[in-house]
Structure 1
Amino acid sequence: MALSGNLDAQRRRDELVELANAPRGVMIDAAAELFAVSPMTIRRDLLELEAEGRVRRVRGGATAAPRARPFDARRAIRATAKRTIAEKALQLVPTAGSIALDASTTVSMLASAIGPRSGVTAYTNSFESFQLLQPFEGVSAVISGGTAEPTTGSLVGPLARRSIRSVYFDIFFSSADALDSDDGTSEVSVEEAELKQAMATNAATTVVLIDSSKLQRRSVARALELHEISVLITELEPRDERLDPYRGIADIR
């Protein structure tokens, strides 16, 4: 049953934000019917809400606005998918050489599984991954300098970027807050995006580990261009149709 069409605009937008925060977000056509207004009115509402940082527009609607979440809270989200992704990525970790690991929870699962190596140097801006790598024989863990980001547990800023840019990597393992088949990866903050750009620039191979809920989405700050991504790993089977927009862009696993 449609709500009254006489709801004032501010109340309607407040309720749109609540709907966008639901697991599936809010769709324009459904919201137009719910509030008894035109789809164009809902589009204008969502444009204004996105400008205020209250929602993120997606194709056909909107979802919750991107925000930095504490590491422990992020680790619990889609944990099964992240474990599957980490298991696939483990096959690409060399026995020797240099690798870079970002500060994502997906990559931390990979770090926890690396195990003994003959001589790997692992650079990271993640406190969590740095600690997880300590027990492994043959793995030398190096943490970047920088400014601590208390919410995400990462190190960011000019010092972190300068530290990363002084090293060349065989492989960079990165996750992302979103991946779009036109615009590449994006992050919740400019600082996180800039650090991943620095890692990718100095890496011979960049592997993006991302669960399927983040596909065909955009976050706040652009990070990696599509041509920088060598391998794309999700929890899906490589032939899954949801991966069709990325075929020809990267090796899909």
Structure 2
Amino acid sequence: MADRDHLADHRLELIMSELSARGECRTRQLAQQFQLSEMTVRRDLAELETRGLLRRVHGGAVILNRDVEYARRLELASAQKQQVGRAATRLLKSGQTVYLDAGTTACEMARAIGQGLPQVTHLNIVTHGISIATELAGRTPYHLQLIGGEVYQNALSTVGPVALAQIADLKIDLFFMGAGGVDATQGWSNSNHVEAVIKRAVIARSKSVCAICDSAKWGQQSFAPILPLAGLRRWIVDRGLAREGVEAARVAAITLTYAEDL
């Protein structure tokens, strides 16, 4: 039964990854691409529809929670994201190798780094976020490495086999990780499979992981799981975090660091 469930989950991930890239797909095309029966694809699409991730249409499906374009998400960046991003820079120390995720909160962190960090004389910064690298290039004295690979345009990030191979060679002191959602049941999750794979690869090469997610992410479940709630030990968040989130973090032994206090 466990193997069957694992295979079903894998099929759902494949279908959602394709939908995230295309926005819509035909049942016949999915069946041919993944070597499945059309009946199996229809059943999987029905399951994904019950989860609120897509809407079935005649002959296929359209995605409902497709990533907002990166530039638009930056426009929508809240004051809380800015607070969290700036606060995260207070954890930086000279000599570290740090990895910045590709999300909008990490972009706020990059902007803060670009404004100068008097307490940090030398730093190695790695990222697969193209906008993160753009924010930092030419604005800091620190060593900057942009991971190569295929460009995932919805997030302006690099993904795929080349990116994963480069990440596998890294030794990271601290990973500043973003997420599309976090709750006590699913843990940390992301809205697309390709980014979740990158995050898990970075986690595997990191001594420590710090979540940088504003309070609005609490109680949200995105499609692709990253790691369980207790899979990291520190979360920088604003004081708008709901009481349930505070309690869940306590149970999971996560240290909450409030952005307003840094």
What TM-score comes out, normalization by structure 2 length?
Answer: 0.70
Cα RMSD (Å): 2.3
Instruction: State the one-letter code of the partner of 1:69.
Output: V
CA shift digits 1:73-114 (9 cap, x unpaired): 111224211011112211112222100011101001101111
Q: Given that residues 74 and 105 in structure 1 are in contact (C-alpha distance below 8 angstroms), is that contact kept between their aligned partners in structure 2?
A: yes
Instruction: Indicate the SS of the match to 2:133.
Output: helix
1:137 CA drift (Å): 3.9
98 and 78 in structure 1: CA distance in 2 versus 1, 3 angstrom threshold: same
User: Which of 218-227 and 124-133 deviates more?
Assistant: 218-227
Larger Rg belongs to: 1
1:227 CA drift (Å): 3.4
1:184 CA drift (Å): 1.6
Equivalence for 1:18: none
Equivalence for 1:99: 98
CA distance in 1, matches of 2:241, 2:94: 25
CA shift digits 1:27-71 (9 cap, x unpaired): xxxxxxxxxxxxxxxxxxx9773357337xxxxxxxx94321211
Equivalence for 1:30: none
* 1:140-159 paired onto structure 2 within 5 Å: 140-159=143-162
- Is 2:234 aligned against 1:231? yes
1:183 CA drift (Å): 2.3
199 and 48 in structure 1: CA distance in 2 versus 1, 3 angstrom threshold: closer
- Is 2:225 aligned against 1:222? yes
Instruction: Indicate the SS of the match to 1:96.
Output: coil
1:237 CA drift (Å): 6.1
Residue segments in structure 1 that go unaligned for 5+ positions in a row? 1-45, 56-63
* 1:100-115 paired onto structure 2 within 5 Å: 100-114=99-113, 115=116
* 1:1-253 paired onto structure 2 within 5 Å: 49-50=49-50, 53-54=53-54, 65-114=64-113, 115-116=116-117, 117-236=120-239, 242-249=245-252, 250-253=254-257
48 and 242 in structure 1: CA distance in 2 versus 1, 3 angstrom threshold: closer
CA distance in 1, matches of 2:100, 2:87: 15
Which structure carries more helix by proportion? 2
52 and 79 in structure 1: CA distance in 2 versus 1, 3 angstrom threshold: closer
Give percent identity, aligned residues only.
22
Q: Report the number of matched residues.
A: 200
Residue segments in structure 2 that go unaligned for 5+ positions in a row? 1-45, 56-62, 258-262
What TM-score comes out, normalization by structure 1 length?
Answer: 0.72
CA distance in 2, matches of 1:127, 1:48: 31
